[in-house]
Structure 1
Amino acid sequence: MSQPNRILIVDDEENVRLMLKAVFSQNGNTILCADNGEQAIELFKHEQPDLVLMDIRMPNMDGIEALQHMHAIYQDIPVILMTAYAAVETAVEALRLGAFDYIIKPFELDEMKLLMARALQLRDMKHEINLLHRELSDSYSHGRILTNNPKMMELCRAIAKVAQSHASVLITGESGTGKELIAKAIHYNSPRAKGQFIKVNCGALPESLLESELFGHEKGAFTGAQIQRQGLFERAHQGTLLLDEVGEMSPHLQVKLLRVLQEREFERVGGNQIIKTDIRIVAATNCDLKSMIERGEFRSDLYYRLNVMHLNSYPLRERPEDILLLARHFLQRFSAENNKDILGLDISAISILEEYKWPGNVRELENAIEHAVIMSTGYIIFSDDLPEHLQRVKNMPSSGVTPITPFEQNVNLKDNLKNYEKSLILQALNNNQNNRVQTAKVLGISLRTLMYKLQEYCIE
């Protein structure tokens, strides 16, 4: 805390207030004091401190209730709660309600100073997160694919090669695996990047509307066609057209699409003027087109015209390395969009995300994180913030990990806390493949502290 700050100290014990004021009034800090929750809220509202240190157990209004009022006024000001009554449940509740952290009396002043220094970084963190969000949004809009998976990295290398050609591309894969993102990556890394990227879902429109959407129509071509209208083949000239769910296209439109691919020309609906077009066709589907060809549902000549280059997107269950990478990306994105300062995921939430099979793939993960951000009231995403169907995962036995049991009967509080801490560390190590640097980062502690804890609990 090298820069002067405004610190609000809230405690009903005068000696505690005086001690903290004497310690933290150094370095030019301005200290505000309150001996109850109501007074603290008024000072918080009018003085807007940089940081709040507040006791939990106070008469009339306790620290938890005061925290809720403060969080409703200004979410950006970190609040550290103090208590002599060390209960894991209280700590978790405080974090869930928006407290930056929780410290147990009596505490070491060095520990408090370190905690305060971390909390004060929150004033700048929101700005940094917003900047990062904008950078990531820009890169995503230009087709950037985030991955740590070897197969996906190989796919990215293939995309880079395919992008430089003018060949048609067929992208296959399950729903929600990012086929549109692959198509964007091809377009924005190709010589056509300055042209338009246009997408149409072939399964979302009736045949007549899809035909008009693709080819355009002349005035009077059908009832309601009061003006001439350009189709997507014209609008995407010198750009890229993504035909999503191409397997849903009718046989009639398959014939017309084949001509565009072969001759690079077409006529509008109701017209006879030949229109030349210079476009790249990228098709995407989750259907097995070869089986459809055998059943007579898809033209083999069209398939081979589309399938000059073939790329396959992998389901999320086959790329487990990407689950947390993508989750944290979506967390930054939705945190910024919802004007929240959510810093990370609780270990229990991480465990659920890693254990779940993700039948809806990346799209389902994206929706789950958006739901969690909206439901969260603090700085950390907990398992209870996740969609209800994901929460059931925590009640299922995970792969080799002993479930965390924060309280055991007939064991004193100190031993319970140690058991709980050991369980958290073991689960974090397992989730991070025993990578100690990553484990320390997830737990929010230094590597030195983690090494000390491993020695203390005899964890190999």
Structure 2
Amino acid sequence: MGEPLPLVLLVDDEKHALESMRMALEDDFDCLAAPNAEGAMSLMRDNPVQVIFCDHRMPGKNGVSFLTEVREQWPDTVRIIITGYTETSDMIDAINDAGIYQLITKPWHPDHLVMAAKNATDLFRLNRENEQLSLEMRYLSRSVENKLSEQRKILREGLGFENVLRSTNSPLNPVISQARQFAGFDIPVLITGENATGKADIARAMHYRSLRADRPFYVLDCIGIDDTIIEEELFGVRGSAGGQIARTGLLQKASRGTLFIDNLSELSPRLQLMLSRALQEGKYRRVGNHSPQHIDVRIIAGTEKDLRQCVTDGSFRNDLFYAVSAAELTVLPLRDRIEDIPILADAILAEAANTHGKIVRGLSDEVLSFFARYDWPGNLKELENELVRMLVLAQGPILGPELISRHILQAEPAARKTDGNLDRLLMAEGALKERIEAVETRILRETLTRLKWNKSRAACELGLSRVGLRAKIDRYGLAEPDTTSRSEED
């Protein structure tokens, strides 16, 4: 079956007029007929009429009054009036009052009637399609808006403070609590801490917790970069006929967003002055451009040095210091948050395993024990490098202490509190015998751990007899880890 024909309603009090209209239209349309307005209104309630042809002069309610009511109840139906009279002013009022699409005068020609009906049904279809498209656009607009909101929420959660990994009792928790408070206020924040302690992660989390979360977040690290490059990165380049390419600076790219400037103390005095003026005046000039560029950016700065001391000794401008330090945070080094190492190590190892395509289940307790007694001068980056190295060397799903680097294995349990460095130990005061024994203990522990406590191999490598090695193990109180399986010594 084909598509149904468009439905047309014919209204006229003269029977032969109705029959004539039906005969002209019935090949292309389904036709309903009514002798008056009341009958036509009843048919309208029960049928999806697209077009009405209505005589103007009828007993009772005339065509204009009827079509006016139709307009109120079925505004999409196309209304055409037929009249044998030429009261021009009346017809103009009728067209306005009833929203009439077309006026046909008597006598009409059948082809004229058919053409009018086809144009009217096309108009009805186009109006419906337009309405449908409008509905779809409104729905899509809401749908896109909802999806964007959901994506923003996911982004905030994925890059928020939940991404700053730490244990439930982490010493970092008070710092994160402060950062959460500062995040919601549009003020500059100075984050102090050693390199690779996660200052950028905290800055990013603050951005995605702020009112600027929907705008961009950029990072600029000033360490080891030439002055000219930093100036172009920050302020941009105008471009010139000589071939210099125009470039937008980060102060403009991060407009209404956040710019994290790490190692701020490394800026030269000239750049310190330029940045200080830009932040205080809210505008700057690009390289090669005399017209000012206005900025609206939140600055979060990172530094490894004590900027207050740098201001005191004259190596850092005091006006720039106060421009970036409305609030201050201090991020702890990894050696002061040993409680966080297990969760950090698990996350780093999982990501590294996925990147390098190796299946691992985790670290042994012995590994975590050795990690806990080490200082981690390189902080999170050193931990990441160590875990990747261990992953590459691993032969099984559990990474054991034999894979740990020797300098970590040799670290003393109290290394963080006393002379953990070998050079310090050698320079320390005390009896020669005690100092030699301290070094010997570290060498024995490292060698036995690396060789999985295979005492025969350890004695051979150290140039000792098995009896001599056992004596030293007993003397220094070195305990073999309790494991359910162990390689044979011989």
**Normalised by the size of structure 1, how large is the TM-score?**
0.55
384, 388, 391: which one pairs with 1:370? 388
Tell me if the contact between 1:355 and 1:398 (Cα under 8 Å) persists in the aligned partners. Answer: no
175, 195, 205: which one pairs with 1:175? 195
Aligned to 2:165: 146
Aligned to 1:396: 442
Tell me if the contact between 1:212 and 1:231 (Cα under 8 Å) persists in the aligned partners. Answer: yes
214, 228, 235: which one pairs with 1:208? 228
187, 201, 204: which one pairs with 1:184? 204
Tell me if the contact between 2:349 and 2:388 (Cα under 8 Å) persists in the aligned partners. Answer: yes
Deviation of 1:142 after TM superposition, in Å, equals 4.3
Q: d(CA) in 1 for partners of 2:227 and 2:355?
A: 37
Letter in 1 for 2:223: G
Report the CA distance shift for 1:350/1:329 in structure 2 as closer, same or farther (over 3 A). same
Are positions 1:199 and 2:256 aligned together? no
Q: d(CA) in 1 for partners of 2:246 and 2:365?
A: 58
Tell me if the contact between 1:347 and 1:424 (Cα under 8 Å) persists in the aligned partners. Answer: no
Q: d(CA) in 2 for partners of 1:360 and 1:159?
A: 23
The CA deviation string for residues 214-236 of structure 1, in whole angstroms up to 9 with x for no partner, is: 11111239xx7523221111101
Q: d(CA) in 2 for partners of 1:389 and 1:397?
A: 10
Equivalent pairs: percent with the same residue?
A: 33
The CA deviation string for residues 84-142 of structure 1, in whole angstroms up to 9 with x for no partner, is: xxxxxxxxxxxxxxxxxxxxxxxxxxxxxxxxxxxxxxxxxxxxxxxxxxxx9996644
Report the CA distance shift for 1:151/1:168 in structure 2 as closer, same or farther (over 3 A). same
Q: d(CA) in 1 for partners of 2:160 and 2:388?
A: 22
Tell me if the contact between 2:410 and 2:443 (Cα under 8 Å) persists in the aligned partners. Answer: no
The CA deviation string for residues 347-366 of structure 1, in whole angstroms up to 9 with x for no partner, is: 33222111111111122111
Indicate the SS of the match to 1:151: coil
Q: d(CA) in 2 for partners of 1:138 and 1:374?
A: 33
CA RMSD of aligned residues (A): 3.1
Letter in 2 for 1:355: R
Aligned to 1:228: 246
424, 427, 441: which one pairs with 2:481? 424
Relative contact order, higher structure (CA 8 A, sep 6+): 1
Indicate the SS of the match to 2:255: coil
The CA deviation string for residues 54-112 of structure 1, in whole angstroms up to 9 with x for no partner, is: xxxxxxxxxxxxxxxxxxxxxxxxxxxxxxxxxxxxxxxxxxxxxxxxxxxxxxxxxxx
Aligned to 1:327: 345
Deviation of 1:293 after TM superposition, in Å, equals 1.3
Structure showing greater radius of gyration is: 2
Indicate the SS of the match to 2:260: strand
Q: d(CA) in 1 for partners of 2:354 and 2:273?
A: 46
Report the CA distance shift for 1:405/1:374 in structure 2 as closer, same or farther (over 3 A). closer
Aligned to 1:246: 264
Indicate the SS of the match to 1:166: coil
Indicate the SS of the match to 1:367: helix
Q: d(CA) in 1 for partners of 2:351 and 2:173?
A: 23
Q: d(CA) in 2 for partners of 1:139 and 1:292?
A: 36
Aligned to 2:399: 381
Report the CA distance shift for 1:397/1:386 in structure 2 as closer, same or farther (over 3 A). closer
Indicate the SS of the match to 2:171: helix
Are positions 1:162 and 2:143 aligned together? no
Report the CA distance shift for 1:305/1:362 in structure 2 as closer, same or farther (over 3 A). same
Letter in 2 for 1:237: S
Letter in 2 for 1:424: P
Indicate the SS of the match to 2:165: coil
Aligned to 1:270: 288
Deviation of 1:308 after TM superposition, in Å, equals 0.4
Tell me if the contact between 1:331 and 1:370 (Cα under 8 Å) persists in the aligned partners. Answer: yes
Letter in 2 for 1:194: D
284, 288, 295: which one pairs with 2:306? 288
Indicate the SS of the match to 1:205: coil
Q: d(CA) in 1 for partners of 2:160 and 2:307?
A: 28
Aligned residues: 278
The CA deviation string for residues 266-287 of structure 1, in whole angstroms up to 9 with x for no partner, is: 1111111111111100110101
Deviation of 1:390 after TM superposition, in Å, equals 2.3
Letter in 2 for 1:178: G
Letter in 1 for 2:382: E
The CA deviation string for residues 137-182 of structure 1, in whole angstroms up to 9 with x for no partner, is: 9966445211124431111111111110110010001111111111
The CA deviation string for residues 163-219 of structure 1, in whole angstroms up to 9 with x for no partner, is: 101100100011111111111111111111121111111123211121111111112
Q: d(CA) in 2 for partners of 1:192 and 1:139?
A: 15
Deviation of 1:397 after TM superposition, in Å, equals 8.9
Q: d(CA) in 1 for partners of 2:183 and 2:398?
A: 40
Indicate the SS of the match to 1:191: coil
Report the CA distance shift for 1:275/1:284 in structure 2 as closer, same or farther (over 3 A). same
Report the CA distance shift for 1:177/1:236 in structure 2 as closer, same or farther (over 3 A). same
Tell me if the contact between 2:170 and 2:340 (Cα under 8 Å) persists in the aligned partners. Answer: no
Q: d(CA) in 2 for partners of 1:243 and 1:356?
A: 30
The CA deviation string for residues 23-59 of structure 1, in whole angstroms up to 9 with x for no partner, is: xxxxxxxxxxxxxxxxxxxxxxxxxxxxxxxxxxxxx
Letter in 1 for 2:180: A
Q: d(CA) in 1 for partners of 2:192 and 2:366?
A: 34
Question: What 5-or-longer segments of structure 1 have no aligned partner?
Answer: 1-135, 411-421, 429-442, 445-460
Q: d(CA) in 1 for partners of 2:196 and 2:444?
A: 25
Tell me if the contact between 1:166 and 1:280 (Cα under 8 Å) persists in the aligned partners. Answer: yes
